[in-house]
Each structure stands twice: as structure tokens, then as C-alpha cells.
Amino acid sequence: MTIEKLPPTAFDEFLAYLNDHLSDNGRDGTAYFQPLPRDASRFPPEKAEAFRNGLRIEVGKPGWRRAWVARADDGAIAGHIDLRGLPENYTRHRCLLGMGVDRKHRQQGLGSQLIAHAENWALLAGVQWVDLQVLSVNTPAIKLYERSGYRKTGEIPNMFLLDGKHYSYTFMTRRLR
Ligand SMILES: CC(C)(COP(=O)(O)OP(=O)(O)OC[C@H]1O[C@@H](n2cnc3c(N)ncnc32)[C@H](O)[C@@H]1OP(=O)(O)O)[C@@H](O)C(=O)NCCC(=O)NCCS
């Protein structure tokens, strides 16, 4: 498995992978991992545009984003991780993490590898803290983050109402240096 930076020119392929990934959200034994109802589990167009544009924005400037993909031997995307700036001013020393591993490639250590890869980049870019948000019901992700050194900083109970049920939101962080 190779992990490579996502160039802006490969964004359409990435978006197709991401929408396939999102089709698992809350279905067939997979916990909700995005705060979207099952039938709306696609990457919203306005967020896709912000993602695409963010890849070209200088790190530290408002809206910046970087992403990496893991590719299987056949070249298909097997997992991804992305880092982006926080919306608040005066937070250049922090970033927000998002990630996922394709259903065929889970439980093989790829999630841990993707986190280590992105954190190495973040350290070199001068980022000191990595923050993330995760649905509290998403036990596989929370276990992975805890194993990778992330600690819970808070939780909003019943933050989302998805398909008739409430879901809490957990906040986690890791200090890189
Ligand atoms: C959460 C998610 C990213 C984890 O990815 P992953 O690649 O399965 O993570 P890892 O393989 O590194 O770790 C998962 C488990 O596999 C185990 N594992 C790692 N390497 C292994 C190997 N070679 N053989 C068997 N098991 C292994 C780990 O010990 C870990 O065990 P655990 O269940 O006790 O925690 C993945 O389940 C996913 O994409 N879920 C849907 C999207 C999502 O939740 N994204 C995060 C939103 S906040």
C-alpha cells in the first residue's frame, strides 16, 4: 500500500471514492460516521467545492486543506486522510483531521498508517495540535484515535438527529509537540 498526497487534479476520482465510502454511513452494521441521514449520505456539493479549492490554498491561510490517499496494488483508493484549518482566527497552530478506510481494507492497520503519515506532514508544516470530531457511536474510529494518542476533550450529547435517533458528538485532540 502506498500513501500519496492527493493532487487537485485527482479530485474527481477522489470524490467518487468518497461518495462510495459515504454510502456505508449507518448501514449494514457500520456505525454512523458522518452526521448525515442514510439517504443523504453523499458529500454535499458546496463542501466538495470547498475541499477541492482548499487543496490549492497555502497552508495557514483561511480554507486550506491537504489530503492523502492510500492506493492498493491495482491503483484503487483504499483509504484517505485529510487535514484542514479551523474556521476560527488565530488558530494556525492547529488543524482538523478527517479520514476513512474503504470497507475492503479495514482492520489491517491502514487507519494507523494514515494518521502517522498525516501527522508527520503536520509536524513539518508547523502544526502543533490536531483536533477531530467523531460521532460518539463510532467505536472503531474512537478506538483507533485513542490508540494513536488522541484524548477526549468534550462531548455534546444528542447533537444530531439522524433517521429518527439522536447521536452525540465527541471532540478529541492530540498535541504533536
Ligand atoms: C475507523 C476506520 C478509519 C479504522 O480504519 P482501519 O484501517 O480499520 O484501522 P486499523 O486497521 O488501523 O485499526 C483497526 C483495528 O484493526 C486492528 N489491526 C491493525 N492491524 C491489523 C492487522 N494487520 N491484522 C488484524 N488487525 C489489525 C487494530 O488493532 C484495530 O483493532 P481494534 O478493533 O481493537 O481497534 C475505518 O473503520 C473506517 O473507515 N470507518 C468508517 C469511516 C470512519 O469512521 N471514519 C472516521 C470518521 S471520524
User: 7 pLDDT exceeds 90?
Assistant: yes
Report the nearest-CA residue for atom 34 of ligand 1.
143
Q: Is the pTM of this model over 0.75?
A: yes
Domain 2-175 has CATH 2.30.40.10: no
Determine the longest span between alpha carbons in the chain, in angstroms.
44
- Helix (H) / strand (E) containing 69: strand 65-71
The per-residue pLDDT for 29 is: 87
154 CB-side CA count, 13 A: 4
Decide if 86 contacts 93 (C-beta within 8 A): no
> Would you say the C-alpha torsion 134, 147, 20, 57 has a positive or negative sign?
positive
Crossing angle for the helix pair 11-22 and 45-54, to the nearest 10 degrees: 140
The finding on whether 139 has its CB within 6 A of some atom of ligand 1 is: no
List pLDDT tens digits, range 71-128: 999 999 999 999 999 999 999 999 999 999 999 999 999 999 999 999 999 999 999 9
Distance from residue 101's CA to the centre of ligand 1 (Å): 8
Distance from residue 102's CA to the centre of ligand 1 (Å): 10
Which amino acid, residue 43? Answer: F
Distance from residue 110's CA to the centre of ligand 1 (Å): 7
User: 177 pLDDT exceeds 90?
Assistant: no
Closest CA to 174 of 116, 135, 124, 125: 116
148 by DSSP, 3-state: which?
coil
The per-residue pLDDT for 12 is: 95
Mean pLDDT, residues 150-169? 97
How far apart CA 110 and CA 80 sit, in angstroms, is: 9
CB atoms within 10 A of CB 95: 26
Number of H helices, E strands in the chain: 4, 7
Q: Angle at Cα 87 formed by Cα 10 and Cα 98, nearest 5°?
A: 45
The finding on whether 18 has its CB within 6 A of some atom of ligand 1 is: no
Confidence of residue 66 (pLDDT cuts 50, 70, 90): very high
- The residue extents of the domains of the chain are 2-175
Percentage with pLDDT > 90 across the chain: 95
- Helix (H) / strand (E) containing 120: helix 110-124
Report the nearest-CA residue for atom 19 of ligand 1.
109
Measured CA distances, 19 to 100, 126, 149, 166 (Å): 11, 31, 29, 23
Mean pLDDT, residues 14-37? 94
Rg (CA), the chain: 16
The residue to mutate among 24, 106, 134, having the most atoms of ligand 1 within 8 angstroms of its beta carbon, is 106
Report the mean per-residue pLDDT for the chain.
96
The per-residue pLDDT for 49 is: 95
Distance from residue 51's CA to the centre of ligand 1 (Å): 24
